[in-house]
């Protein structure tokens, strides 16, 4: 008989997400609910008969718990998933405020940094495959990735299902713990209440983490398979593409970020990545398919830890770095929040315009700083008149 791992792990998902939580719940309520359902016959249950009743109740209640727990995907996981940096950048682009910081910290705790990197790469691939049949919106990225793995690489799907089984177990366990929490409060069992509350927090955390790992594992596998199926471009083709891309659109994006302190503006400079003695404006490479504004906000946040909102498009700066043409689109940006940068070894500082211009290591940075101050002053003057 051939061993088929995907069928084994589907069974594992059923066991962890339905039968096991149902068994836990059945055990907790057996002495209370058993006599109510079975009457005097409950006390006479023994041996095989008792096990049959217990397994039946576990399976039935497990399905009910699974149904209730599945609501967490919509009311908990998806909303928290939308608190990652990528969504916050989109909020700033659309003129909205950042989500409350405690909620963003929860998202970081569950999903870590760069949570959207794999998803950003998967979406164009899914669209390419499904565009021909006009079904790009018919299935989400995770389910599409699982379907591809089921058709071509079931052994890889088994790994994804293992993470998903863990997440669904804790998802179904949460309603059990909520019932136990309510019963503990009703009975004034405060130690049990505290223990259950801690268990609830840990179960929720584990559910979020394992569900995220399941999606990431699916995305990583699809990306790896796609990379293996695509032949690497020749050096000549890469050079031609790079040259054409440099001529037609910006390769990098950055921000001239200001904050207002004591009725005057301060501008943000950061140490250069390869030379800490040089001070530059925060900027970085535009990822494939990434909006230029999105890239500017993301790079400022990654390099300095500063969340900033775009106020106005400035100019494009052209220069060569290690014989490679670089084309940077700069924006005037206003700081809205400060936190720790991803690279904690690179220092940054806030300086008034004259000091910032004197400190900036490159002529191009000095020019765009002066331009930014002109635009900021003009906008400020217009607000005062209005």
CATH at 306: 3.90.79.10
Give me the phi and psi of 217, to 5 degrees please.
Answer: -60, -40
Which residues have C-beta within 8 Å of that of residue 284, sequence separation ≥ 6? 252, 253, 254, 295, 298, 299, 302, 303
| pLDDT 10s digits, 52-78 | 888 888 889 999 999 999 999 999 999
Please tell me whether residues 36 and 160 are part of one structural domain. yes
Q: What integer pLDDT is reported at residue 14 of this predicted model? A: 76
Residue pair 93/293 in contact by the 8 Å Cβ criterion: yes
Note down the domain range covering 377: 249-385
Residue 243 forms part of a structural domain:
no
Residue 240 forms part of a structural domain:
no
Structural domain count, the chain: 2
Please tell me whether residues 268 and 194 are part of one structural domain. no
* pLDDT over threshold 70, residue 247: no
Average the pLDDT over each of 116-130, 242-256, 302-316 and give the range with the smallest value. Answer: 242-256
What are residue 381's DSSP bridge partners? Answer: none
Residue 104 forms part of a structural domain:
no
Last residue of a domain, one of 228, 259, 283: 228
Residues 142-164: what's their mean pLDDT?
A: 92
Q: What integer pLDDT is reported at residue 345 of this predicted model? A: 84
Higher pLDDT among residues 15 and 150, named by residue: 150
Separation in Å, CA 337 to CA 167, 306, 307, 343, 349: 33, 6, 5, 17, 15
Report the C-alpha gap between 141 and 116 in whole angstroms: 12
Last residue of a domain, one of 179, 195, 228: 228
Q: Confidence class of residue 10 from pLDDT cuts 50, 70 and 90?
A: very low
Residue 283 forms part of a structural domain:
yes
Residue 266 forms part of a structural domain:
yes
Average the pLDDT over each of 18-32, 143-157, 328-342 and give the range with the smallest value. Answer: 18-32
Residue pair 366/267 in contact by the 8 Å Cβ criterion: no
Last residue of a domain, one of 175, 193, 228: 228
Q: What integer pLDDT is reported at residue 230 of this predicted model? A: 61
| pLDDT 10s digits, 157-167 | 999 988 998 99
Average the pLDDT over each of 17-21, 96-100, 264-268, 347-351 and give the range with the smallest value. Answer: 17-21
Q: What integer pLDDT is reported at residue 2 of this predicted model? A: 54
Q: What integer pLDDT is reported at residue 279 of this predicted model? A: 96
* pLDDT over threshold 90, residue 190: yes
Report the C-alpha gap between 32 and 154 in whole angstroms: 44
pTM of the predicted model as reported, rounded to 2 decimal places:
0.79
* pLDDT over threshold 80, residue 383: no
Residue pair 328/348 in contact by the 8 Å Cβ criterion: no
Q: What integer pLDDT is reported at residue 239 of this predicted model? A: 47
Residue 39 forms part of a structural domain:
yes
Q: Confidence class of residue 179 from pLDDT cuts 50, 70 and 90?
A: very high
Residue 96 forms part of a structural domain:
no
Please tell me whether residues 204 and 256 are part of one structural domain. no
Residue pair 284/299 in contact by the 8 Å Cβ criterion: yes
Please tell me whether residues 43 and 188 are part of one structural domain. yes
Report the C-alpha gap between 301 and 337 in whole angstroms: 10
- Hey, what's the torsion of the CAs at 62, 68, 73, 76, to 10 degrees? -120
Report the C-alpha gap between 116 and 175 in whole angstroms: 29
What are residue 318's DSSP bridge partners? Answer: 327
* pLDDT over threshold 90, residue 289: no
Residue 77 forms part of a structural domain:
no
Higher pLDDT among residues 42 and 296, named by residue: 296
Phi-psi group of 379: left, alpha or beta (phi > 0 → left; psi -120 to 50 → alpha; rest → beta): alpha
Please tell me whether residues 152 and 260 are part of one structural domain. no
* pLDDT over threshold 80, residue 186: yes
Please tell me whether residues 18 and 133 are part of one structural domain. yes
Q: What integer pLDDT is reported at residue 244 of this predicted model? A: 46
Higher pLDDT among residues 145 and 289, named by residue: 145
Please tell me whether residues 218 and 355 are part of one structural domain. no
Please tell me whether residues 224 and 253 are part of one structural domain. no
Please tell me whether residues 223 and 340 are part of one structural domain. no
Please tell me whether residues 196 and 334 are part of one structural domain. no
Q: What integer pLDDT is reported at residue 49 of this predicted model? A: 79
Please tell me whether residues 219 and 304 are part of one structural domain. no
Residues 321-336: what's their mean pLDDT?
A: 91
Please tell me whether residues 278 and 163 are part of one structural domain. no
Q: Confidence class of residue 245 from pLDDT cuts 50, 70 and 90?
A: very low
């Amino acid at each position: 008989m051939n061993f088929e791992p995907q069928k084994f792990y589907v069974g594992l998902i059923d066991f962890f997400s339905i039968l096991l939580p149902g068994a836990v719940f059945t055990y907790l309520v057996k002495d209370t609910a058993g006599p109510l359902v079975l009457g005097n016959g409950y006390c006479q249950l023994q041996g095989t008969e008792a096990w049959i009743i217990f397994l039946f109740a576990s399976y039935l209640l497990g399905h009910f718990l699974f149904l209730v727990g599945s609501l967490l995907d919509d009311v908990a996981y998806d909303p928290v998933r939308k608190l990652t940096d990528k969504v916050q950048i989109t909020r700033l682009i659309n003129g909205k405020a950042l989500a409350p910081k405690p909620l963003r910290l929860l998202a970081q705790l569950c999903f870590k940094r760069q949570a959207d990197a794999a998803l950003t790469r998967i979406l164009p691939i899914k669209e390419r495959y499904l565009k021909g049949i006009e079904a790009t919106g018919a299935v989400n990225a995770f389910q599409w990735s699982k379907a591809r793995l089921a058709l071509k690489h079931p052994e890889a799907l088994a790994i994804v299902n293992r993470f998903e089984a863990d997440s669904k177990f804790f998802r179904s366990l949460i309603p059990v713990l909520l019932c136990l929490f309510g019963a503990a409060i009703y009975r004034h069992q405060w130690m049990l209440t505290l223990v259950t509350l801690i268990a609830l927090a840990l179960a929720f955390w584990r559910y979020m983490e394992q569900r995220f790992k399941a999606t990431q594992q699916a995305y990583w596998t699809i990306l790896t398979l796609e990379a293996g199926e695509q032949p690497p471009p020749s050096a000549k083709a890469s050079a031609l593409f790079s040259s054409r891309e440099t001529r037609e659109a910006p390769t990098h994006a950055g921000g001239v970020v200001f904050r207002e302190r004591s009725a005057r503006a301060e501008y943000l400079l950061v140490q250069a990545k390869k030379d800490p003695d040089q001070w530059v404006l925060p900027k970085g490479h535009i990822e494939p398919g990434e909006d230029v504004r999105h890239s500017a906000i993301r790079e400022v946040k990654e390099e300095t830890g500063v969340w900033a909102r775009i106020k106005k498009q400035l100019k494009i700066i052209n220069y060569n770095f290690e014989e490679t043409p670089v084309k940077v689109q700069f924006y005037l940006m206003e700081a809205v929040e400060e936190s720790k940068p991803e690279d904690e070894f690179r220092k940054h500082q806030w300086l008034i315009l004259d000091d910032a211009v004197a400190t900036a290591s490159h002529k191009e940075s000095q020019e765009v700083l002066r331009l930014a101050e002109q635009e900021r002053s003009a906008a400020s003057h217009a607000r005062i008149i209005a």
